[in-house]
Amino acid sequence: MKRDKSTSLFPKEQVKESLSHSFRKLDPRMMIKNPVMFTVEIVTFAMFFVSIYSVFNINQGTFAYNFTVFIILFITLLFANFAEAIAEARGKAQADSLKKTRSETPAKLIVGGKIEMISSSELKKGDIFECEAGDTIPSDGEIVEGLASIDESAITGESAPVIRESGGDKSSVTGGTKVLSDSIRVMVTTQPGESFLDKMIALVEGASRKKTPNEIALTILLAGFTLVFVIVCMTLIPLADYTGTVITIASVISLFVCLIPTTIGGLLSAIGIAGMDRALRANVITKSGKAVETAGDIDTLLLDKTGTITIGNRRATNLYPATGVDPDEFIRYCQLSSLADDTPEGKSIIELVYENKAHIHSQDLPKVRSIKFTAETKSSGVDLADGTEVRKGAFDSIRKLAEAAGNSFPKEIEDFIQTISSNGGTPLVVSVNKKVVGIIELQDIIKPGIRERFERLRKMGVRTVMVTGDNPLTAKYIANVAGVDDFIAEAKPEDKMDYIKKEQDKGKLIAMMGDGTNDAPALAQANVGVAMNSGTQAAKEAGNMVDLDNDPTKLIEIVEIGKQLLMTRGTLTAFSIANDVAKYFAIVPALFMVSIPALAAMNIMKLHSPESAILSAVIFNALIIPALIPLALRGVKYKPIGASALLRRNLLIYGFGGVITPFLGIKLIDLFVSLFF
Amino acid sequence: MNTELLGNALQIILMVVLSYPLGKHIAKVYKGEKNLMDFMAPVEKWIYKLSGIDPSEEMGWKRFLKVFLTLNLFWFIWGFILLVTQKWLPLNPDGNGNQSPHLAFNTIASFIANCNLQDYSGESGLTYFTQVYMVMFFQFASAAVGMAAMAGVLKAIASKSSKTIGNFWYYLVRSVTRILLPLSMMVSLFFILQGMPMTFEGKMHIKTLEGIDQAISQGPVAVIVSIKQLGTNGGGFFGVNSTHPLENPNYLTNLVESISILLIPMAMIFALGFYLKKRKLSFIIFGVMFFAFIVSTSINVHEEMNGNPRITAMGIDQHQGAMEGKEVRLGAAATALWSSATTVTSNGSVNGMHDSLMPLSGAVTLLNMQINAWFGGVGVGFLNYYAFIIIAVFISGMMIGRTPEFLGKKVEAKEMKIATLVVLLHPLLILLGTAISSFMFVHAPAFVAKEGGWLANPGYHGLSEMFYQFTSSAANNGSGFEGLGDNTPFWNYSAGLVILFGRFFPIIGQVAIAGLLAEKKFIPSSAGTLETDTVTFGVMTFAVIFIIAALSFFPAHALSTIAEYLSM
């Protein structure tokens, strides 16, 4: 089952729910978290009393005018609340659909060696349950016994089953996935209601949402702007008084609300929630909003070679017989050497042999005794019934074997080895009865398109570092072909940690992905640590994100999501502030035109009348919020065109656009509003 | 007419050409590198020894500020005492009296703050003793303090990660001995050669052509005028400042005085480029400031040279421009340039009366001071611009998808808080001050009448006069719109307080930001880092300054200068 990833921004039921939330969010105790909108609430309240006052008095303008201003301000508040509510609703819907996959299922709880059937919701941390083929796994946990193939498509959308087994790094199972074969015993690792998904839902709903550092700094700036305009508008009253101009409370409040950054103020929290939501849509559970933000700042990505840069495992790509060995004969020896080898490399050799059509048909295969790979011999193979020993192994080990038997090691094979190694391949030498017969070339298959992705990252200013167990020569070759900036060869688990610390000392921010328990310290140390959902509980606890798809290239997407989040915030701030230029020109002449007729020359938009000008500005100010909700939710598109070009582009669109748009918008609204005057 | 414009062009070209090598020299002075003035080392050593200073002590930003504030407090008390007792002190050949406490408060606040707002006339309000040991001393000292603050900030910006920002005393002493003193000596010598008085004798008594006896004030004018111009001080020896023939005898002295206004402020920006080894960054900053300067100068020159349309309508010839309040020997263009130069910096000296400027030029001079970040006061001008850079960096950093950083340091909540407060303070001081005085003018006429009525002009222009007084005080500019009877307790205290707030809070904030950033970990730049030495970022900073600093004064301008302009 693939979750609904529909791009419709406003599904009906979410809108309905958000509308009622918009009213509930008017509670001043909630509004105060957002200083900009809180001041709007205060002046809206004041406008309400001014409206009532104007029923009985005439010096504050007509009741109709005052009440209209009040209603528009009230709607402005609702729009801002709606933006936040709809972002929450979307995030929650996304999380809920994930949660649905793990609704009530029966669990086979093991109590004193016996199985007891209970509901999944009754499972507690530390309980052990059993799952057999066909069962849905009732809760997240870690396999303590057994091995099973599991269908995780409900979570990842990937149809190929995966193997999970106790011990090691593939021991985690996720609630809602299905066991296809075999049977496992699983220990529950989280208390009900405390899974990562539950935590994320709480984060999105606002219960445990904390402002990120960048959000705090921006809120300070916006609060500062708001204060400036408090000063500007309050002092305007005595100044106008001096010139003999009477300005109404409604006009001062309108000027104030238009000048303070309500656009970004109203959309700020929606942008943050939408960022987490976008991560969730990419199947990444984030443990905090801060992690998403940090992702946009990442300088260096640590990527495991296998699975990220190359497809799974190495594959055999070429078979080179030694001089004097019949090529077909050699192919058959290759086949024999790998008969008992069920590693992915071994299987790929068999596949290559079959492609060459010189293989021994399965019905003709001789009986063999398999010789397993040992650390001592560093080779494996088979012994045939006639005593023929077929071996394949690393160059050193086979050379030792051959030379010990008095056979020379062919020169041309050594040359081959050199060429293969420097091309990033791994040579495997095949011997028959301790005589070298040829060589198999294993190659890493670099994922298509990965080079372009790294290029894109480089343009974003992100360095990529490949981590691999390969020898430096092979690592260097692959690094070159894939286009990564640096590599760690012959990597041990602690090398990642050292590298991260070293880079962090230089002031860089590092992201990495990992799944094993031995990755946990590095995941914790990294600025953004993404644990694979299939990884161990320790790894998931250590990281600050969990990737449900177990897709190592996800890091790249996460960086973009982080950048998008910040960009949306920045561009809307610029837009909001740039709007002020036009608003000054709409309202300031309107304030004074009556008593200082000369100032009519400043009415460059030729707005109909002072009242219509003020109303148009306030209406524009209100409408721009819902108009920008889609942008806030979807995020501003990131383009890796270099920092300066990007700034130029966004400054042009959102800064310059922010200056122009309200001139047009206010004029249009005024044309409409003037119909009523 | 063309010669006047050529004269202006020559002044501007000379400012830029001379400030560049000076900037290089200043960078060397603060970095402690080998420089032309190394022969002053023994003098400096003697000063350090005499005052028990260890110039090699590395100060953290808090200690740096503590020293800076303590020194200023001491100076404040010392200057105040001199002013209220000057009658009995030596060098008072004309027998001038003591300053009243409220005037002395205003005067000393104004002089330690490098503002030099003068609610007195130097001829009668000071003695030669206070002219030299108060006025001239603080013209060196307050300029050097501003430069020292900037030197500390430069060191903070340059350091990769450091808890200290250098030694305040070291910067202070070197600013005087190696920058201000040699320049003033050269300029003073030129002034003396041009006939500016340099004497401790009392008034000259002469018989005029009409046969009337006249007493003409004089004194140690030349030395004071040079540092007045060079150190963005602006406090003239005479009440009418550089319009006075003995303070600015001819076009040549006017040229040198005019260049001196912008010489060090411009050089400080180039010094930043040399100091940080980021020449391009300094060119971009210089470019933005220079652009603003040229635009404001062009408006003023255009307005002043075209004359007053109301007077033209009366059939009076105005081919010389709007000459009210201007000196015939200098001309309208030179006064227009000066009015722009003296307000883009926080100099505040005048060679014509700003009260008589055309409304639009008046608006421009006000706006320059309200922005207060185009070149600005020596040292502090860049610091004001720096606060705007922090805000611009913050917004544009996000716009390119990174949490904001400036020159390798992350800008976070704490720095934002300080930068926002610093930027907020300026409109608060100006608008609140103007609002209070307007309110009193309308609602407390008895009080205003008791203070002498305050305004020489009613209407919009009267509002401009009060607006100007607070603007000039907050910006530490010190020029007056005049026409305002400001030697009263209300104006002396209110403007004095605004001056002190406008001087010390921003410097504390700006040094704190730099100090806090210096302590942070240095982040090497990558392709994703916001480059601040690009034209785009320059435009961004300009936009931030224009929208935040300039536009917040727009409604107030609408009621004063713009209303006056449109009513003409």
Report pLDDT digits (tens) over A590-633.
Answer: 999 888 888 989 999 999 999 999 999 999 999 999 999 999 99
Rg (CA), chain A: 34
Q: Are A571 and A317 in contact (CB under 8 A)?
A: no
- The whole-number pLDDT of residue B385 equals 95
The residues near B103 (Cβ < 8 Å, ≥ 6 apart) are B83, B119, B120, B125, B487, B492
Q: In this complex, do A213 and B394 lie within 8 Å of one another by their Cβ atoms?
A: no
- The whole-number pLDDT of residue A3 equals 44
What mean pLDDT comes out for the span A278-303? 86
Residue A5 has pLDDT above 50, yes or no: no
Q: Which residues of B touch A454 (CB under 8 A)?
A: none
DSSP-H helix ranges across B159-278: 168-174, 181-193, 221-230, 251-276
> Catalytic: A299?
no
Q: In this complex, do B554 and A651 lie within 8 Å of one another by their Cβ atoms?
A: no
Mutate to test the interface with A, among B396, B399, B409, B424 (most CBs of A within 10 A): B399
Q: In this complex, do B547 and A216 lie within 8 Å of one another by their Cβ atoms?
A: no
Rg (CA), chain B: 23
What is the C-alpha separation between A187 and A125, in angstroms, rounded? 8
B504, amino acid identity = F
Average pLDDT, chain B: 93
Q: Which residues of A touch B526 (CB under 8 A)?
A: 299, 461-463
Which two structure tokens, joined as six digits, stand for A109?
């709880």
What mean pLDDT comes out for the span A289-318? 82
Q: Are B538 and B284 in contact (CB under 8 A)?
A: yes
What mean pLDDT comes out for the span A67-81? 96
Residue A432 has pLDDT above 80, yes or no: yes
Chain A residue with the nearest C-alpha to that of B552: A232
% of chain B surpassing 70 pLDDT: 100
A/B interface, count of CB pairs below 8 Å: 222
What mean pLDDT comes out for the span B143-166? 94
> Residue A4's pLDDT band (boundaries 50, 70, 90)?
very low
Chain A residue with the nearest C-alpha to that of B425: A228
Chain A residue with the nearest C-alpha to that of B538: A648
Residue A347 has pLDDT above 90, yes or no: no
Instruction: Of A79-93, A96-110, A551-565, B530-544, give the lowest mean pLDDT range.
Output: A96-110
Q: In this complex, do B563 and A643 lie within 8 Å of one another by their Cβ atoms?
A: no
- The whole-number pLDDT of residue A101 equals 59
**A217, A235, A642 member nearest B432 (Cβ):** A235
Q: Are A518 and A531 in contact (CB under 8 A)?
A: no
Q: Which residues of A touch B408 (CB under 8 A)?
A: 507
What is the C-alpha separation between A238 and A231, in angstroms, rounded? 12
- The whole-number pLDDT of residue A564 equals 92
- The whole-number pLDDT of residue A517 equals 73
- The whole-number pLDDT of residue B512 equals 96
Q: In this complex, do A462 and B522 lie within 8 Å of one another by their Cβ atoms?
A: no
Which two structure tokens, joined as six digits, stand for B83?
């002013």
pLDDT tens digits for range A195-247: 777 777 777 676 567 788 888 999 999 999 999 999 999 999 999 999 888 88
**A236, A570, A588 member nearest B395 (Cβ):** A570
- The whole-number pLDDT of residue A337 equals 86
- The whole-number pLDDT of residue B183 equals 96
Q: Does pTM top 0.90 for this prediction? A: no
Q: In this complex, do A228 and B528 lie within 8 Å of one another by their Cβ atoms?
A: no
Q: In this complex, do A228 and B423 lie within 8 Å of one another by their Cβ atoms?
A: yes
Average pLDDT, chain A: 86
Which two structure tokens, joined as six digits, stand for B508?
């504390």
pLDDT tens digits for range B325-379: 899 999 999 999 999 999 999 999 999 999 899 999 999 999 999 999 999 999 9
Q: How many CA atoms lie within 13 A of B491 on its CB side?
A: 30
3-state secondary structure of A185: strand
What mean pLDDT comes out for the span A528-543? 83
Nearest C-alpha neighbor of A191 from the set A123, A287, A125: A125
What mean pLDDT comes out for the span B180-203? 94
Q: Are A272 and A206 in contact (CB under 8 A)?
A: no
Q: Is the pLDDT higher at A188 or at A120? A: A188
B469 burial (CB, 10 Å; 0-12 / 13-18 / 19+) is buried
Which two structure tokens, joined as six digits, stand for A68?
């209209």
3-state secondary structure of A467: strand
Q: Model ipTM?
A: 0.92
Mutate to test the interface with A, among B159, B389, B394, B398 (most CBs of A within 10 A): B398
- The whole-number pLDDT of residue A312 equals 64
